[in-house]
Protein backbone atom coordinates (compact mmCIF):
# COMPACT_ATOMS: atom_id res chain seq x y z
CA UNK A 1 0.00 0.00 0.00
CA UNK A 2 1.09 3.54 -0.62
CA UNK A 3 -0.50 5.00 2.52
CA UNK A 4 1.67 6.65 5.19
CA UNK A 5 2.25 4.65 8.36
CA UNK A 6 -0.58 4.82 10.88
CA UNK A 7 0.21 6.96 13.94
CA UNK A 8 -0.88 4.06 16.16
CA UNK A 9 -3.62 5.42 18.36
CA UNK A 10 -4.00 3.11 21.33
CA UNK A 11 -7.78 3.11 21.18
CA UNK A 12 -10.79 5.38 20.91
CA UNK A 13 -10.71 8.59 22.88
CA UNK A 14 -12.63 11.85 23.14
CA UNK A 15 -11.03 15.18 23.90
CA UNK A 16 -13.35 17.40 25.91
CA UNK A 17 -12.70 21.12 25.88
CA UNK A 18 -14.46 24.03 27.53
CA UNK A 19 -13.82 27.74 27.55
CA UNK A 20 -13.08 27.92 31.27
CA UNK A 21 -11.58 24.57 32.33
CA UNK A 22 -8.51 22.56 31.29
CA UNK A 23 -9.02 19.93 28.61
CA UNK A 24 -9.84 16.40 29.70
CA UNK A 25 -9.90 13.16 27.78
CA UNK A 26 -12.15 10.13 27.95
CA UNK A 27 -10.21 7.03 26.84
CA UNK A 28 -12.11 3.85 25.98
CA UNK A 29 -10.95 0.27 26.15
CA UNK A 30 -12.64 -3.09 25.64
CA UNK A 31 -13.66 -3.32 29.30
CA UNK A 32 -13.95 0.21 30.61
CA UNK A 33 -13.48 3.91 30.10
CA UNK A 34 -11.18 6.28 31.91
CA UNK A 35 -11.42 10.02 32.45
CA UNK A 36 -7.95 11.53 32.13
CA UNK A 37 -7.30 14.96 33.65
CA UNK A 38 -3.49 14.93 33.47
CA UNK A 39 -2.65 17.91 31.26
CA UNK A 40 0.49 16.31 29.80
CA UNK A 41 -1.31 13.15 28.76
CA UNK A 42 -4.23 15.14 27.37
CA UNK A 43 -1.84 17.35 25.37
CA UNK A 44 -0.09 14.25 23.99
CA UNK A 45 -3.41 12.84 22.80
CA UNK A 46 -4.31 16.19 21.24
CA UNK A 47 -1.05 16.02 19.24
CA UNK A 48 -1.79 12.41 18.32
CA UNK A 49 -5.22 13.45 17.08
CA UNK A 50 -3.63 16.19 14.96
CA UNK A 51 -1.38 13.55 13.35
CA UNK A 52 -4.42 11.37 12.65
CA UNK A 53 -6.18 14.30 11.00
CA UNK A 54 -3.12 15.16 8.94
CA UNK A 55 -2.62 11.61 7.64
CA UNK A 56 -6.28 10.74 7.03
CA UNK A 57 -7.66 10.68 3.52
CA UNK A 58 -10.60 12.91 2.70
CA UNK A 59 -14.14 11.49 2.40
CA UNK A 60 -14.07 11.04 -1.39
CA UNK A 61 -10.63 9.42 -1.39
CA UNK A 62 -11.71 7.12 1.45
CA UNK A 63 -14.83 6.03 -0.44
CA UNK A 64 -12.80 5.42 -3.59
CA UNK A 65 -10.29 3.36 -1.61
CA UNK A 66 -12.99 1.29 0.09
CA UNK A 67 -14.70 0.56 -3.22
CA UNK A 68 -11.37 -0.54 -4.72
CA UNK A 69 -10.78 -2.88 -1.76
CA UNK A 70 -14.28 -4.34 -2.16
CA UNK A 71 -13.62 -4.97 -5.85
CA UNK A 72 -10.45 -6.85 -4.88
CA UNK A 73 -12.46 -9.05 -2.51
CA UNK A 74 -15.04 -9.72 -5.24
CA UNK A 75 -12.23 -10.80 -7.60
CA UNK A 76 -10.87 -13.39 -5.15
For residues 65 and 59, the answer to whether their CB atoms sit within 8 Å is: no
Does a structural domain hold residue 62?
Answer: yes
Does a structural domain hold residue 51?
Answer: yes
Does a structural domain hold residue 1?
Answer: no
pLDDT tens digits, 7-61: 556 678 899 999 999 999 998 888 888 999 999 999 988 898 888 888 888 999 9
1 pLDDT more than 80: no
Question: What is the count of structural domains for the chain?
Answer: 1
Structural domain boundaries enclosing 60:
13-75
Does a structural domain hold residue 6?
Answer: no
Does a structural domain hold residue 7?
Answer: no
pLDDT score of 22: 92
Amino acid sequence: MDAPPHPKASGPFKLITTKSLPDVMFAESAREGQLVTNTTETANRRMQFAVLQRTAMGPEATLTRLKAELRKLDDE
